Amino acid sequence: MGDTKQLAQTYTVVNNTQYDAGLFLIKRLELEPGMRVLDVGCGPGNLTSYLTDLVGEGGEVVGIDPSEERIALARETTTRDTGRKNPQFHVGRAEDLAQFPAASFDVVYCNSTLHWVADQPRALREFGRVLRAGGRLGVSGQSGDFVAAHERIQAAVLARTPYRDYDHGTAGAAPRFLTREQMGALLDLAGFGGGDRTFTTNKIFNSSGKTYGGVPVEMRPQAREEMIAEWDKLATKDGLMMELDLLVTVATKA
């Protein structure tokens, strides 16, 4: 993922929805003082700091992220002036946790990240390896079982003439959201079979960019009218209702 210091900083301002989703997951992980926690895909470290408060100075929190800019910002904003040992940040990917020994964490936490991970089965195996027996894995991200209203409306309008004649492929890699069934299968393959497992749906509200796909600028006003007509169908007296289901997984290593 291309990144800049500015993007990393903007991210910390606009990610309230994501922050709340992270809190929802953390609550379900029942963290206690003294625990060792790995935050995979920690970004600029906002939630990593929160994890640190929960485990205290007797615990250990490590955040990893492939983005050097985000890791730099995380170090700058969370460890500045404190002189504390926690949290620590390293550049790294979910698929390769070789920098951590087996069974070295009580909790592996992964918020809004797994859908960007190129090799998800390998990442899950790595999570299982670095967790101690009885340790917990927590993952939250958009559910692959759910099609959001903005995705449905965008797909419906862009499939019409004349918009269908344009290339709407995304510039970068597309996120790969997991269904409950896919997540279950990955957990089984990664050695989480036999341990407790819960799946929860976290209903959140969000907005989306990239609305017009590859529709040329001059056609966008018309496409916009057609999308508005679809959105009107979602209008309630309290405003537009746009629902999003997150799949929240907590799995214990047996």
Ligand X SMILES: C[S@@+](CC[C@H](N)C(=O)[O-])C[C@H]1O[C@@H](n2cnc3c(N)ncnc32)[C@H](O)[C@@H]1O
Binding footprint of ligand X on the chain (CB under 6 A): 1, 15, 18, 22, 40-43, 46-47, 65-67, 70, 93-95, 111-113, 116-117
Question: Least Å distance between CB 176 and ligand X?
Answer: 11
| Comparison of 51 and 187: residue with beta carbon closer to ligand X | 51
For 6-130, list the strands marked E by DSSP.
Answer: 36-40, 60-65, 88-91, 105-111
| Comparison of 1 and 254: residue with beta carbon closer to ligand X | 1
| Comparison of 67 and 86: residue with beta carbon closer to ligand X | 67
CA distances from 92 to 13, 15, 43, 106, 134 (A): 23, 22, 11, 19, 25
Question: Least Å distance between CB 130 and ligand X?
Answer: 13
| Comparison of 146 and 231: residue with beta carbon closer to ligand X | 146
**Measured distance CA(104)–CA(96) in Å, rounded:** 15
Question: Least Å distance between CB 13 and ligand X?
Answer: 12
| Comparison of 1 and 159: residue with beta carbon closer to ligand X | 1
Question: Least Å distance between CB 15 and ligand X?
Answer: 6
Q: What are the tokens at 236?
A: 């309630």
Question: Least Å distance between CB 153 and ligand X?
Answer: 23
Residues in the chain, total: 254
Greatest C-alpha distance within the chain: 62
Query: Is residue 221 reached through a cis peptide bond, with omega within 30 degrees of 0 on the bond before it?
Result: no
